[in-house]
């Protein structure tokens, strides 16, 4: 068995840890309600704003090319 190591780009790592702004009111959303790995190398975050209740999704590609 061969161990394969994939190093993510620095911008991808920053995107994984960055808070988001609500698309409705602009308030900071610090942590997603849930996150999921999507086949094909993508992480999808599901957000809900504490200030206005707006729900939104954001996807981050883990493409290491």
Question: What pLDDT is stored for residue 58 in this prediction?
Answer: 87
pLDDT single digits (tens) 9-43:
655 555 556 678 899 999 999 889 999 998 888 88
- 1 pLDDT band (50/70/90 cuts)? low
Report how far apart the first and last C-alpha atoms of the chain are (Å, whole number): 23
pLDDT of residue 59 exceeding 70, the answer is yes
Do 32 and 50 contact (CB within 8 A), yes or no?
no
In the CATH scheme, what architecture does the domain 10-61 have? Single Sheet (2.20)
pTM across the whole model: 0.65
- List the domain boundaries for the chain: 10-61
Question: What pLDDT is stored for residue 53 in this prediction?
Answer: 95
More confident residue, 40 or 5: 40
């Amino acid at each position: 068995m061969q161990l394969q190591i994939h190093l993510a780009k620095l911008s991808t790592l920053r995107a994984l840890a960055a808070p988001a702004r609500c698309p409705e009111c602009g308030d900071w959303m610090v942590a997603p309600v849930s996150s999921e790995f999507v086949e094909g190398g993508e992480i999808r975050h599901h957000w809900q704003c504490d200030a206005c209740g707006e729900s939104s999704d954001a996807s981050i590609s883990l493409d290491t090319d």
